[in-house]
Amino acid sequence: MVRQEVALLLASAFALVIMSSMASAAVVEHTFNVENVMVRKLCYKRVITAVNGALPGPTIQVTEGDTLVVHVFNKSPYNVTIHWHGVFQLLSGWADGPSYITQCPIRPGHSYTYKFTITNQEGTLWWHAHVSLLRATVYGALVILPKSGHYPFPMPHKQFPIILGEWWNGNVIDIQNQAQQLGTAPNNSNAFTINGRPGDLYPCSKKHTYKLKVVHGKTYMLRIINAALNSQLFFKIAKHKFTVVAVDASYTDPYVTDVVLLAPGQTADVLLITDQIPRAYYMAARPYVSAQNAPPSDNTTTTGILIYDKLPYTSPVMPRLPALNDTPTAYKFSTSLTSLAWSPNWKPVPTKLDEEMLVTIGLSVSPCGPTNACTGVPNNPALRLSATMNNASFLLPKSPSILQAHFFNVKGIYTPDFPDQPPLKFNYTNPANVNSRALSFALQNTRVKQVKYNATVEIVFQDTTVLGAENHPMHLHGYDFHVVGQGFGNFDPVEDRKKFNLFNPVIRNTVGVPAGGWAAIRFQANNPGAWILHCHLDAHLTFGLATVIIVENGPTPSSMLPPPPPDLPQC
């Protein structure tokens, strides 16, 4: 009898757990109206494309396990798609969003509904346009709350998204079109922003500076997102320190620092203790400029104000920010982060490898075109700037998308022959490479890497000094990955492997490859689909610094990508 009662109690408890789990999963629905709106910034009025008339767009908040449904109505004059940056899209790859990779764009006057379930993820991600330069103004935060209701650290008093962005006084589509015609990079931005606002140091901006009001003695979580197009950013708050507890929606060992570095696409959850003398303090962000032989960049600083206890303020304290080219500080931050082993959704590092790749990345040149009116390469109007991975400059197809071509076995859209090793071996980080014409040319093609379902993959990204070294943030759609190692110079497959962290390396979806150096990542290819791997500097993606990893279906229905939804946009 006792056994029967125990069994009944266990069965009831199990049923309650199942019912609670089912009850906690909800359908979260949003409507995005993508449309042109008039705004005033930096003393100018201009039209931008935005979601629901706001910059940034709406913050989406879900709980792990929820299904997200977003109805996108394109009321703008431009093609648009929305990418859910960092979301795995497990068996929902059709909803990933990059144009001509998983879908054709949503044309003006048309609509599309994205629907997918958030699985095995919690933390801070974000969403943005994945067509042309529209993500300069079409973006917002995506916050995934833990299903358990608990974090692996004390619950903060309040949480705030801090989205760093970039602002142009001109129309970004016109700026991109001009850059493409001239074969050069787009013009530098005119300002950086915090939650859409430039801040005190820019003209006509003081009244609209972002202000964060806090109470003394509390702990706050800042969900920091770098939504800038082409700039890595240092972020500080005067007199305060942060404890980094997560990056890219993966928990980290608590790391105390007074500066955060984020590449475009990266996020960081930090705890901020308001333990200073009650007054006003500037929060500020300025770029980290790693590029060599590059034209001057936007070296301005965006500010917000942290205000204690609703006090009036006159002169906020300004933090001392790192120098623009402070590579030691940038490298220290990136390499000091480790994952919080055994935390929710943590996974061990793959040790047995099925695929090993060495991929060179960097800028290159290609023929200008029939007009020979390019200005991207000084004193040579026949050449335009380009970018390569293993000497391949990626060319987007026009119809159908790569995922459609893969799913329906359409020939002639891509070739599955992206090389596992650089076709040309050379001293990748020799400064003299900038003068080598033989190394600087790359042809455009649509070459992809195809891997078996469940294969374990290692990719070592090797920066090159062809046209100058630069820190490249590499983003893989559909996956997180372990950053098992990074360093400067040429990757040494014997000596550098000895230094790999195979216990608790940081887990990310976007990694900054050090300028003139390398970064090694590992992941298990257990999500079938077509996943773009690209530099998240928008100019370099436009130049062709990308490829696609096609993960084949698994052996069971639960490991196979279902057919595309019937309303998927067509080219």
d(CA 560, CA 91): 7
Average pLDDT over residues 177-184: 89
* Contact (CB, 8 A) for 531 and 506: no
Q: Which of 298, 317, 341 is the last residue of a domain?
A: 341
6 band by pLDDT with thresholds 50, 70 and 90: very low
Cα separation, 474 vs 537, whole angstroms = 9
**What CATH number is given to the structural domain containing 481?**
2.60.40.420
> 544, 385, 523, 368: which is closest to 472 by C-alpha?
544
Smallest CA-to-CA distance from 294 within 536, 537, 461 is with 537
DSSP annotation of 503:
S
- With a cut of 70, say whether residue 9 has pLDDT above it: no
Rounded to whole angstroms, the Cα distance separating 47 from 171 reads 7
Residues 45-60, buried b or exposed e (16+ Cβ, 10 A)?
eeebbbbeeebbbeeb
Say how far residue 315 (Cα) sits from the centre of its chain. 35
Q: Please report whether residue 473 resides in a domain.
A: yes
Residue 244: inside a domain = yes
Q: Which two tokens stand for residue 471?
A: 């820190």
What is the dihedral angle through the alpha carbons of 479, 480, 484, 487, rounded to the nearest 10 degrees? 90
Instruction: Note whether 133 and 280 are same-domain residues.
Output: no
pLDDT at position 19: 36
- 5 is a domain residue: no
Q: In this structure, what token pair is assigned to residue 535?
A: 């530099």
Q: According to DSSP H, which parts of 100-207 are helical?
A: 172-182
Count of Cβ atoms closer than 10 Å to residue 169 Cβ: 14
Q: 153 — alpha (psi -120 to 50), left (phi > 0) or beta?
A: beta
Gap between the Cα atoms of 72 and 56, Å rounded: 16
- Asked whether residue 570 is assigned to any structural domain, the reply reads no
Per-residue pLDDT band at 540 (split at 50, 70, 90)? confident
With 0-12 CB in 10 A as exposed, 13-18 as middle and 19+ as buried, what is 466?
Answer: buried
- Mapped onto helix, strand or coil, the DSSP state of residue 281 is strand
Query: Taking phi first (over 0 means left), then psi (-120 to 50 degrees means alpha), and beta for anything else, what does residue 484 get?
Result: alpha
Task: Give the number of residues written for the chain.
Answer: 571
Q: Is residue 251 part of a domain?
A: yes
Provide the mean pLDDT of the chain: 92
What residues have CB less than 8 Å from 177, skipping those under 6 apart? none
- Kind plus residue range of the DSSP H or E element containing 10: helix 2-24
pLDDT digits over 22-79, tens only?
A: 446 899 999 999 999 999 999 999 999 999 999 999 999 999 999 999 999 999 999 9
Q: How many CB atoms lie within 10 A of CB 496?
A: 17
Pair (439, 510) in one structural domain = yes
Task: Evaluate whether residue 307 is within a structural domain.
Answer: yes
The answer to whether the beta carbons of residues 326 and 319 sit under 8 Å apart is no
Q: Are residues 97 and 193 in the same domain?
A: no
Least confident interval from 128-137, 370-379, 509-518: 370-379
* CA separation for the pair 21, 15 (Å, rounded): 10
Mark whether 250 and 101 lie in a shared domain.
Answer: no
Please check the confidence at residue 443 and state whether its pLDDT lies above 90. no
Q: CA–CA separation, 520 vs 515, rounded Å?
A: 14
Strands 250-257 and 219-226: unpaired
Q: Both tokens of residue 509?
A: 């979806």
**Residues 367 and 325 grouped into a single domain:** no
Q: Which pLDDT band holds residue 102 (cuts at 50, 70, 90)?
A: very high
- Which phi and psi (to 5°) does residue 253 adopt? -60, 135
**Three-state secondary-structure class, residue 458:** strand
Q: Is 568 helix (H, G, I), strand (E, B) or coil?
A: coil
Q: Which residue has the higher pLDDT, 290 or 331?
A: 331
295 — pLDDT class (breaks 50, 70, 90):
low
Residue 8: band (very low, low, confident or very high) from pLDDT cuts 50, 70, 90: very low
Q: Which residues contact 294 (CB under 8 A, 6 or more apart)?
A: 468, 470
Domain, as residue range, for 516:
355-559
Q: Take residue 380 and report the two structure tokens written for it.
A: 């040579």
Predicted pLDDT of residue 294: 60
- Tell me how crowded residue 153 is: count the other CB atoms within 10 A of its CB: 17
Same domain, 233 and 125: no
Q: In angstroms, rounded to a whole number, what is the distance separating the alpha carbons of residues 477 and 99?
A: 13
Last residue of a domain, one of 148, 175, 201: 148
| Residue 444 to residues 6, 22, 251, 386, 435, Cα–Cα distance (Å) | 68, 49, 39, 9, 22
Task: Say if residue 7 is exposed, middle or buried (CB neighbours under 10 Å; 0-12, 13-18, 19+).
Answer: exposed
| 366 and 432 in a common domain | yes
Distance CA 178, CA 98 (A): 22
**pTM score, two decimals?**
0.94
Token pair of 85 as six digits: 């940056």
Model confidence band, residue 541 (pLDDT cutoffs 50, 70, 90): confident
Q: Is 404 helix (H, G, I), strand (E, B) or coil?
A: helix
The verdict on 431 and 505 lying in the same domain is yes
Residue pair 221/270 in contact (Cβ under 8 Å)? The answer is yes
User: Looking at the domain assignment, is residue 67 inside a domain?
Assistant: yes
Number of domains in the chain: 3
Domain endpoint, select from 306, 341, 376: 341
- Whether residues 230 and 261 share a domain: the answer is yes
- Are 390 and 417 in a shared domain? yes
Q: Is residue 343 a contact partner of residue 448, using CB atoms and an 8 Å limit?
A: no
Please indicate, yes or no, whether residues 324 and 433 belong to a single structural domain of this protein: no
Residue 185 binned pLDDT confidence (cut-offs 50, 70, 90): confident
Q: Are residues 130 and 52 located together in one domain of the fold?
A: yes
Residues 6+ apart with CB under 8 A from 141: 56, 59, 60, 124, 125, 126, 161, 163, 223, 225
Please name the amino acid found at residue 245: V
Q: Using CA atoms, how far apart are residues 456 and 21, in angstroms rounded to an integer?
A: 31
Judge residue 177's burial from the number of C-beta atoms within 10 Å of its C-beta, 0-12 exposed, 13-18 middle, 19 or more buried.
Answer: middle
Query: What is the residue-wise DSSP string for 464-502?
Result: --TT----EEEEETT--EEEEEEEESS--TTTTGGG---
Task: Give the pLDDT of residue 347.
Answer: 96
For the record, the structure tokens of 2 come out as 């006792």
Would 466 be classed as within a structural domain? yes
